[in-house]
């Protein structure tokens, strides 16, 4: 349940998506009455679409006038811990984008997600255009595994032709900023990097930041909405 700034209370709509060679997965469409766009959100590797991070973030988007469509990857739908192959994961991204385009044909679309969801969305976009998607949004792009710095996971980004917004914390063990910044510079005008001071991969911040975790999620949602307006 979400309470908007106008005092309007509403719940997400449950959907079912069909993924080739993987069956059906669940999805949640949260659309505020004043929606000006729709963001398709994939979850992280160890948490599904109902994780508190995505639940809270979707609520923040709703109050900011952005609809969201969250969805499960097939392995999470089955209750497994090990992610599916990249082929199935990217096919799921495409199924979610198609569902968003059908559910709200009049709204501009963005796509992305948290960690794994972010990387699989960018990988899908690097292989073929995503239907009607105007930009990609990454909440904690997993550039490399913890304590194993590298940029191999970013190589496919060179084939992505859409604007990309990277939202990264300074304590994110999955993305050394000294490596991510050059990647974004190489992408040129396509990439925007927004750094969150003291935030880790889950966007938890230290007390010395002077902010709380809920305040950070509020800022992230507003940042995405403002960025979306700049890319048309």
pLDDT of residue 59: 95
Position 9 scores a pLDDT of: 56
What is the number of other CB atoms lying within 10 angstroms of the CB of residue 157? 24
- 71 by Cβ neighbours in 10 Å (0-12 / 13-18 / 19+) ranks as buried
Mean pLDDT of 102-127: 97
Q: In what order do the strands lie in the sheet with 23-30?
A: 13-19, 23-30, 67-71, 38-42, 109-114, 133-139, 164-169, 191-196
**Spatial CB neighbours of 160, under 8 Å, sequence gap ≥ 6:** 122, 125, 126, 136, 190
Q: Report the DSSP beta bridge partners of residue 29.
A: 13, 69
H or E segment and range at residue 192: strand 191-196
pLDDT, position 60: 96
In whole angstroms, give the CA distance from residue 26 to residue 75. 12
Q: Total domain count for the chain? A: 1
- For residue 232, the model assigns a pLDDT of 73
CA distance 28 to 30: 6
Cα pseudo-dihedral 120, 13, 139, 174, rounded to 10: -60
Residues 6+ apart with CB under 8 A from 82: 75
Give the domain CATH number at 85. Answer: 3.40.50.1820
Q: What percent of the chain has pLDDT over 90?
A: 94
Q: Residue 111 has which token pair?
A: 């796509």
Say what percent of the chain tops pLDDT 70: 96
Domain membership of residue 34 as a residue range: 2-230
pTM attached to this predicted model: 0.94
């Amino acid at each position: 349940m979400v309470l908007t700034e106008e005092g309007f209370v509403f719940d997400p709509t449950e959907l079912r998506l069909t993924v080739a060679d993987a069956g059906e997965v669940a999805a949640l469409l949260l659309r505020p009455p004043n929606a000006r766009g729709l963001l398709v959100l994939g979850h992280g590797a160890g948490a599904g679409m109902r994780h508190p991070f995505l639940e809270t973030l979707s609520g923040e988007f709703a109050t900011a006038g952005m609809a969201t469509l969250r969805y499960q990857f097939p392995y999470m739908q089955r209750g497994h811990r090990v992610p599916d192959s990249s082929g199935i994961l990217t096919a799921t991204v495409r199924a979610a984008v198609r569902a968003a385009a059908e559910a709200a044909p009049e709204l501009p679309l963005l796509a992305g997600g948290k960690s794994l969801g972010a990387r699989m969305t960018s990988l899908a976009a690097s292989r073929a255009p995503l239907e009607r998607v105007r930009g990609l949004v990454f909440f904690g792009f997993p550039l490399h595994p913890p304590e194993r710095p590298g940029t191999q996971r970013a190589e496919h980004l060179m084939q992505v032709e859409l604007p990309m917004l990277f939202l990264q914390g300074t304590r994110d063990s999955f993305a050394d900023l000294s490596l991510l910044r050059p990647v974004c510079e190489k992408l040129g005008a396509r990439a925007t990097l927004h750094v969150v001071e003291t935030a880790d991969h889950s966007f938890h911040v230290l007390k010395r930041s002077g902010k709380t975790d809920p305040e950070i999620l509020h800022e992230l949602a507003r940042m995405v909405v403002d960025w979306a307006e700049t890319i048309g």
